[in-house]
Chains A and B, each alone.
Chain A
């Protein structure tokens, strides 16, 4: 498997403007390649998501590889966040929301009757678009997850370990009892990542985690994602194509389509290795999107 992260080195300090994508697409001969992850954490087949009668996303098939970073990109309203929120059953909290099709999590049906959504969310953590630390101390923010899950053990150590993994410990170790809202936006987002790590999840879902942050804070979060992908499976929804190109192993491109009845649905257009998506996409719509001709 090629590693796109080595192809497009992470910029430091300043945001990279412009696409590092060739405008001319050269379609080579079909070579067998690694579209599906070999060691899947999630296997999605025929997933459709409904809000009431409205089918927001239709017929998604994809796999999420173990300890890989999978990016989901696409224009607004294409259903990428909706799909992400199926992975930890956050959509259950929206009245009228319902998923059809199948998501296997390590061979277990995520929407099976026996499945407890609370247990699901404990294994599959989530980081949100807007940093959402609780209005409590930094310490209590991290300790919250382990406490509500009845984790035994020395809380001080759990907190330090989570903050260290999220590359925040050195910045906050002297003010651990201060309100988390006194931190900067980027620090708050890393705190939210630390909070997710503290419950020792298997997967971390990130819903546009950098869209409210400045370029420097974004770089730090991206570096952190690289670091975390050694131990965790990460799925990230992003509006920022360069970010997807920089950090992810595989990329799923979604778009919104109007069907024959005139109703808009989110569709998965193409799912492939990130290097392939950004250099040699097989679908015209993907190519238009990543070269900036659309969206």
Chain B
């Protein structure tokens, strides 16, 4: 192949064409592509699996009944399909969780990134991340057997039920603190030190520098952390199933027992709903709704981040 080139040109000349095929390169590229495809294929597979039973469900139950009623009892006889109670429970518990996790998580992130010495940061951050590794069933029982009784003793006027949205929401919040803290800390640590120095050199305190320079500069990363935390909270199952209960009465009061969408899916899916029955199809309809809700939220927040982020470099 290269003989002709070797002859023709003068001096140190060889063809610039590839001297031998590189099969290894091709193989590696293919393997990497396939690894990337797995997660995409899984997502597509989930959507496909949700779609068919969901369409069948809406063949039997009208959209008007699904979204127009507040009585939820697909597993009862006769069944009722007003989805609002589980939506309200999901939103309410997620809201409580976010109210707990965002201030605490952000405060922890600011402390770790701006105030802690490198040594403290090196010990503290892994400890915080261990919290993310605690099985959620542990949080669930902690909420049920410790937090709820304590709250009942200390605040008897709240009239908490044995299972309630408040305790479940609080512990879901604790569960997602590490997500908020760790990811926010990562994006704050990535803010160039020159920005901090610029702020200090103008006579700004550490607190002002953190709040007015570092946090805005890390804003897109912080929002991404919060979004991920919300998605995890909305989909959290074990804590809400154990501490929040399964009762689907329409209520806004967080002291009451209420079932979230995820709790309903767990309950119905672990029960004896036979394949093809309306109860079985309801699982998929609720699953689709949860999927759409999280997807829409991710999309909206991605747009918000695009609009408001402060880009450096």
Contact = CB atoms under 8 A, between A and B. Distances in A.
Given A134-B217, A135-B310, A136-B216, A122 B202 contact: yes
Interface stretch (A8-16, A48-56, A191-199, A245-253): A191-199
Interface of B: 117-118, 192, 194-195, 197-205, 208, 212-213, 216-217, 310-313
A120 B195 CA distance: 19
A132 B192 contact: yes
Contacts of B202: 121-122, 125, 144-145, 148-149, 195-196, 199
A90 interface: yes
8 contacts: A93-B200, A122-B202, A132-B192, A134-B195, A134-B199, A179-B310, A179-B311, A181-B312
B193 to A, nearest CB: 9
Contacts of B117: 95
A74 B118 CA distance: 32
* 3 pairs of A and B residues whose beta carbons are closest in the complex: A122-B203, A135-B310, A132-B194
Nearest to B117: A95
Contacts of A132: 192, 194-195, 197-198
Interface string A130-143: 10111110000000
Interface residues of A, number: 27
B311 to A, nearest CB: 6
A121 B202 CA distance: 6
A128 interface: yes
A126 interface: yes
Interface of A: 88, 90, 93, 95, 118-119, 121-122, 125-126, 128, 130, 132-136, 144-145, 148-149, 179, 181, 192, 195-196, 199
B194 A130 contact: yes
Contact of B200 (A90, A133, A136, A199): A90
A261 to B, nearest CB: 28
B310 A95 contact: no
A119 B311 contact: no
Contacts of B201: 88, 90, 121, 125-126, 128, 196
Contacts of A128: 194, 197-198, 201
Contacts of A181: 311-313
Nearest to A147: B212
A122 B192 CA distance: 22
A88 B204 CA distance: 13
B197 A90 contact: yes
Nearest to B217: A135
A126 B208 CA distance: 18
A148 B311 contact: no
Contact of A199 (B195, B203, B216): B203
A145 B201 CA distance: 9
A119 B192 contact: no
B217 A121 contact: no
Name the residue among A88, A118, A119, A130 with the largest chain B CB count within 10 angstroms: A118
B212 A144 contact: yes
Contacts of A136: 216, 310
Contacts of B197: 90, 93, 126, 128, 132
A119 B311 CA distance: 30
A125 B200 CA distance: 9
A105 to B, nearest CB: 15
A127 to B, nearest CB: 8
A164 to B, nearest CB: 19
Contacts of B216: 135-136
